[in-house]
Amino acid sequence: MRCAVSLLLLLSLLSLSHGYREPGEEADWCDYEQCKLPDCRCSDTDIPGGLPVHQIPQIVMVSFDDAVQDRWKADVGNVLSDHKNPNGCPLGATFFASHEYTSYQTVEEYYSKGYEIASHSISHTPYQDWWKNANETQWHDEIIGMQTIIHEFANIPTDDIQGMRAPLLQTAGDTTYKMMTNNNLKYDSTMPTRRFTDPPLWPYTLDYKESKDCQIEPCPVESWPGAWINVAGLTLFMKEIVDKDDVWIINVGQAIEWIQKPTKLSSIFNFAPWSCEAKPPARCTQAQAKWCRYVLDDGQERYMQTCNEKCPPNYPWVGNPKGE
């Protein structure tokens, strides 16, 4: 797993239904009279809700990419478990999980601790051109297929697997966001910027044209109502920020919920999406988890760990996420 603690304005897409924009239309410049929270936000640096600077929480999103493995638990614990947010709730994080070498017992355990789990594809194919040129079906099989795997083998409700990040930060432009819209994914956390760093862009939707620079082509040019966007910034050391009383370390989904409903710092303790939400414990411990072993057609072995009582007959993969 690639571990990063970052101040993120990561391009996050929220797929919602709007009455004034049709998915797939050529995007126009933003109409501030039509584009209103919570479902739409223009691409700009204005503080959501027009709040004064001293009344906004300092939002830090922590994310981890790639395979979720048991051997990373100590590192994750060092980053997250030893600290609390100002309201006493655990720090938040989003794990963008890919399939190979992932322990679904660990995924289930992280979810039970309140961390967000999102899709990072099944194969994580290491060729940028493949992702750039992939069609909608291929994107579906990779991203929604991974959502299915997480649901099946980590026991996480599909509705709680609401986001994605493209491997290699490479989207296929409108093709990727059409797939997301058609499958009701809430956000994408992929596209970077170098232009907007001070001040940075707040997350915004893709109802209208972006003001953001396109660092990795292609970027979307069509309208995808409600699609929220975020952009990667500087790596932060937790010890330098965690004790500040206006800093909140949360997951990507929680950040978007604040954008949709901007809440003053003086009232933030009453903001429900950032409260301590108890989730059921994982169904098994690491020692109790079942190891599933598979020999692939090329003779290579693959292992998968899950709290499920039975292993699927075949190794879950693109086009067969349940391993049937």
* Residues sharing a CB contact under 8 Å with residue 294, sequence separation 6 or more, in sequence order: 301, 302, 303, 304, 314, 315
The DSSP result for 133-196, as a single string, is H--HHHHIIIIIHHHHHHHHHH---GGG--EE--GGG---THHHHHHHHHTT--EE-----SS-
Question: CA–CA distance from 84 to each of 60, 195, 242, 289 (Å)?
Answer: 13, 33, 8, 29
- Looking at residue 80, the DSSP 8-state letter turns out to be I
Angle, alpha carbons 78-265-4 (nearest 5°): 25
The tens digit of pLDDT for each residue in 167-201 reads 999 999 999 999 999 999 999 999 988 888 888 88
The model's pTM is: 0.91
6 phi-psi bin (left φ>0, alpha ψ -120 to 50, beta other): beta
Model confidence band, residue 242 (pLDDT cutoffs 50, 70, 90)? confident
The tens digit of pLDDT for each residue in 125-177 reads 999 999 999 999 999 999 999 999 999 999 999 999 999 999 999 999 999 99
Q: Are 86 and 248 in contact (CB under 8 A)?
A: yes
The tens digit of pLDDT for each residue in 20-44 reads 567 888 999 999 999 999 999 999 9
Domains and CATH numbers, the chain: 2-20+29-274 (3.20.20)
The DSSP result for 234-252, as a single string, is EE--HHHHTT-TTEEEE-H
